Amino acid sequence: MKALHDSNVTNQFGPRAKAYVESAVHSQGADLARIGEIAAATAPARAIDLGCGGGHVTYAMAPHAAETFACDLSTDMLAAVRDTAAARGFDGVRTTRTSVEALPFESASFDMLGCRFSAHHWQDVDAGLREGRRVLKPGAPAVFVDVVAPPAPLLDTHLQGVELLRDTSHVRDYSVLEWQRKLEAAGFAVKQIGTWQLRMDFPVWIARMATPEPLAVAIRMVQDSAAEEVRRHFAIEPDGSFLLDMAIFETVAV
């Protein structure tokens, strides 16, 4: 029998925990700084990071929170977060192995939520967002950051195609409009949205996920045969490096 989706996710991410802690794309960014600013203004007793990966949102919130719960499906990611938090002196960091779709926490027990570059892997994004809302107190800030799909189907399909070839546990990069609708349906009021583009260096992007060579070759073939509109939007370079669309959603639990 084939592995279930959540096992595909842990199989993909577990062996790459160190790469995600060290990744420049993941460890830097104005979005992380913004999460830190919101945490500083909130001073949460309990903050939660959904799909913590290498833990960069956790480390942004931890200096301002009494306790920060880093949550992920992957025990290897959580071990890397524990080691890094200890090395940085973040005593309030706790790790919890869980699916975001079924959080093992009481309702209204957190004061801030951060979630970055994870939701596009979730099997049931609506359930994950509902769970995030459930564990937050009303009025608590929740910040979501993710890769977003451009609204044009031509561009959207190209993006999902190369994402799936690179990482076969990819589910979907949602558009800004899809995000807004999903966040509102889950009980978040969207206060502010920011968008930007982030350059993916092709060899680094492929190496981080250890994409098998035939799939990396397939991505290059898809890029090479893409329409001019696609090549222009993603600014595809001769070596396959390109720009990804990102968005940050600053919300409040209703």
**Nearest one of 32, 78, 28, 22 to 53, comparing CA atoms:** 78
**Nearest one of 223, 224, 117, 211 to 171, comparing CA atoms:** 117
- Total residues at the site for ligand SAM (CB under 6 A)? 22
Distance in angstroms (rounded) separating the CA atoms of residues 61 and 47? 7
Residue with tokens 């959580």: 78
| For ligand SAM, the closer CB: 186 or 230 | 186
With binding defined as CB under 6 A, does residue 93 bind ligand SAM?
no
Each residue 40-79 as x (binds ligand SAM by CB under 6 A) or -, in order, gives: -----------xxxx-xx--------------xxx--x--
**Nearest one of 146, 148, 151, 139 to 191, comparing CA atoms:** 139
| For ligand SAM, the closer CB: 230 or 245 | 245
Each residue 115-144 as x (binds ligand SAM by CB under 6 A) or -, in order, gives: -xxx--xx----------------------
Q: Least distance in Å: CB of 53 to ligand SAM?
A: 3
Q: How far is CA 56 from CA 15, 53, 181, in A?
A: 18, 8, 26
**Nearest one of 114, 107, 94, 182 to 137, comparing CA atoms:** 107
Q: Least distance in Å: CB of 214 to ligand SAM?
A: 23
What is the contact surface with ligand SAM in residues (CB under 6 A)? 9, 13, 20, 26, 51-54, 56-57, 72-74, 77, 99-101, 116-118, 121-122
